[in-house]
Chain A
Amino acid sequence: MGFDGGLELERQDTIDAPGRPMTGPVVDASGLCLTFQTGDGPVHALSDVDLRIGKGEFVSFIGPSGCGKTTLLRVIADLEKPTGGSITVNGVSPEEARLNRAYGYVFQSASLYPWRTIERNIALPLEIMGVSKSERAARIERVLDLVDLSSFGKKFPWQLSGGMQQRASIARALSFDADLLLMDEPFGALDEIVRDHLNEQLLTLWKRTDKTICFVTHSIPEAVYLSTRIVVMSPRPGRVTEIIDCPLPRDRPLDIRETPDFLEIAHRVREGLRAGHSYDE
């Protein structure tokens, strides 16, 4: 743990910074259920989900399509209302958290507004939140630098590659400094090499900003590489089958993915997913 010392210090700094009160868990769900009423009868998207996510954690949700991982993220974001159980975000209801602009959400597609330049896309949440013009400019510059897009602010989205667009959308989610980042398969549509690169950048960013990140993914290596904990989910009804700790060091070069530790965790995740599947068949 020796090389973690410096980082601990850095994190201590941010935690002690004024205006950031230390509280309990960032996300606390118990017995959470969500049933969609459809024409073909009820669909149990989430069933009895218990989950606590602490501050500064990087939690991945992994599972096959239809296991409710995106739904769970959307419940945390107050984009869906649960039909049972309880959930708090930053100690308050998800709705209140949303009204407080407690989180930044990164969607599966970059969903940049095509009529705005990258800069103005990042400015969008700031404009809505009433941030002054000079403050906006400063923040745009900072987050563009954070995602390594400094010279692309004046470009329109279509002038950027898919990976760059997704980075811009992450910058947009970071711009208003929410402590919680919700990411719904942000790199799902990108090719392997771009994806590796963005995963690396995301980890760096997480270490630098001390944000809590909830990350939905299909990919086992991605989940193991990024996370401090991995939530394995299974479909019909969407539930959590296993929560796997991922005690790799915070500094993770890409080739950590070939170490025995890494492979061991990946194996456990795969076993967990398989167990969920056999239930289904």
Chain B
Amino acid sequence: MTATRKRDRILPVCVVVAAIIAIWYGFTVYLNAPWQLDVYEKAGRDWTITDLVRDTMAQDRPVLPAAHQVFQEIWATTVEKRITSKRSLIYHGWITLSATLLGFLFGTVLGIVLAVSIVYSTALDKSLMPWIITSQTIPILAIAPMVIVVLNAVGLSGVLPKALISTYLSFFPIVVGMVKGLRSPSAIELDLMRTYNASRFQTFWKLRWPRSIPFLFTSMKVAVAISLVGAIVGELPTGAVAGLGARLLAGSYYGQTIQIWSALLSAAALAAILVMLVGLAQTIVLRSMGQRPEGGTT
């Protein structure tokens, strides 16, 4: 029963992946062909379609690198490099990941604190929420350099400024989700607490908080992904010393498209893993809170 369900899920995913790779290779040939034809013309040599396809997939600085080039680059810069090496993707990935996780942690805590204040204070509900929404309308690319520069000026550098940019992005979905979650108890559930003469704290801790946990996890999945975006954006204006953002920037300085794409795919994979880990935590926690096994919300 579960085996067939698993197969039903894996097959469509494989088809989509295969289609993406096929389209990718198609575009590799198409986009890299003009430069390759130039090369052939300058060298004055004849070429066949086979030559063209093979050569467009083996350029040093292609417009669009072929999938296998990118995966070779990722393999070479992860498995075949020492982790301490400045060219190791794992080294750069860890730099970004540490800022992401720290920012995600700050963002989650900040988001929860803000949500609780909003739910428990009408004044804050009216005054805070517009600013929280406004904060997200400002493009992060415009704010990031200023945050980095200002924090550098007061002597803060390294992981913290980047983490703060992650925080700036990730607290938002947490606030929105948690405000909704903390307000989700039904009238009867609240009345029940009233009949027990429960204190505000007891109502919070024994009703509003557990009620909001499913909302928290859904928000955390969004938050952890944009936390990573924040950390990468935070690495761009620092002159790109280390991190996946630095690899992206350095790659674009030197026209190293393969390096850009490998950093890009690594970032995407990292985001996917982080979201999956939050999802796993969600399953474990909600299971322990009595959720029906088949009614999972993933």
Q: Are B196 and A128 in contact (CB under 8 A)?
A: yes
Is residue B191 within 8 Å, beta carbon to beta carbon, of the partner chain?
Answer: yes
Task: Report the minimum CB–CB distance from B40 to chain A (whole Å).
Answer: 68
| Interface pair B290/A115, CB less than 8 Å apart | yes
Interface centre among B213, B289, B290 (most CB of A within 10 A): B290
Enumerate chain A residues within 8 angstroms of B196, measured Cβ to Cβ. Answer: 101, 124-125, 128-129, 176
Give residues of chain A (91-122) contacting chain B, Cβ–Cβ below 8 Å. 98-99, 101, 103-105, 107-109, 111, 113-117
Interface residues as binary, B43-85 with A (CB distance below 8 Å gives 1, 0 otherwise) = 0000000000000000000000000000000000000000000
> Is A275 part of the binding interface, using a Cβ–Cβ cutoff of 8 Å?
no
The answer to whether B195 and A105 touch across the interface, beta carbons within 8 angstroms, is yes
B198 CB-CB contact with A under 8 Å: yes
**Shortest beta-carbon distance, A111 to chain B, in Å?**
5
Check B290–A77 contact: CB distance below 8 A: no
Asked if A189 is at the interface of the complex by the 8 Å CB criterion, the answer is no
Interface membership of chain B positions 187-216, coded 1 if the CB is closer than 8 angstroms to chain A and 0 otherwise: 011011111111000100011001101000
A99 and B290: CB pair below 8 A? no
A36 on the interface (CB 8 Å rule)? no
Q: Are B186 and A111 in contact (CB under 8 A)?
A: yes
A111 near B189: Cβ-Cβ < 8 Å: yes
Contacts A115-B289, A117-B290 given: A128-B202 contact, CB under 8 Å?
yes
Beyond A79-B194, A98-B195, A101-B197, whether A128 also contacts B206 by CB under 8 A is: yes
Number of interface residues of A (CB under 8 A): 27
Give chain B residues whose Cβ lies under 8 Å from the Cβ of A176: 196
Shortest Cβ distance from A178 into B: residue? B195
Q: Are A128 and B198 in contact (CB under 8 A)?
A: yes
CB nearest neighbor in A for B194: A79
**Shortest Cβ distance from residue B10 to the other chain A in the assembled complex, whole angstroms:** 30
Contact with B along A116-145 (1 / 0, CB 8 A): 110000001101110000000000000000
Q: B126 in the interface, Cβ–Cβ < 8 Å?
A: no
B206 touches A158 (CB 8 A): no
Determine how close the nearest CB of chain A comes to the CB of B181; give it in whole angstroms: 13
Chain B residue nearest to A126 (CB atoms) is B196
CA distance A156 to B192 in the complex (A): 19
- Complex Cα gap A124–B202 (Å): 10
Residue of A nearest to B295 (CB): A158
Q: Please give me the residue from chain B that is nearest to A176 by CB atom.
A: B196
**Bound Cα distance from A129 to B202, whole angstroms:** 10
Contacts of B213 in A (CB 8 A): 115
Neighbouring B residues of A105 by C-beta, 8 Å: 191-192, 195
Cβ contacts under 8 Å, A109 to chain B: 188
Interface residues as binary, B267-287 with A (CB distance below 8 Å gives 1, 0 otherwise): 000000000000000000000
Q: Which of B194, B197, B202, B207 contacts A113 (CB 8 A)?
A: B207
Distance in angstroms from A160 CB to nearest chain B CB is 12
Contact of B188 among A99, A107, A114, A127 (CB under 8 A): A107
Chain A residues closer than 8 Å to B292, beta-carbon distance:
158
- Contact check: which of A108, A127, A129, A156 meets B290 at CB < 8 Å? A156
Chain A residues positioned under 8 Å from B206 (CB to CB): 113, 124, 127-128
Q: Is A157 an interface residue (CB 8 A)?
A: yes
Smallest CB–CB gap between B207 and chain A, Å? Answer: 7
When the two chains form their complex, are residues B290 and A103 in contact, meaning their CB atoms are under 8 A apart?
no
**A–B Cβ pairs within 8 angstroms, 20 of them:** A78-B194, A79-B191, A79-B195, A98-B197, A105-B192, A105-B195, A107-B188, A107-B191, A107-B192, A111-B189, A113-B189, A113-B207, A113-B210, A115-B210, A115-B211, A115-B213, A116-B290, A128-B193, A157-B290, A158-B292
Residues of chain B whose beta carbon lies under 8 Å from any beta carbon of chain A: 186, 188-189, 191-198, 202, 206-207, 210-211, 213, 289-292
A101-B197, A116-B290 given; 5 more Cβ-contact pairs under 8 Å = A79-B195, A101-B196, A105-B195, A111-B188, A115-B211
10 A-B pairs with the lowest CB-CB distances in the bound complex, closest first: A156-B290, A115-B289, A105-B195, A111-B188, A128-B196, A125-B196, A128-B198, A115-B210, A107-B188, A99-B197
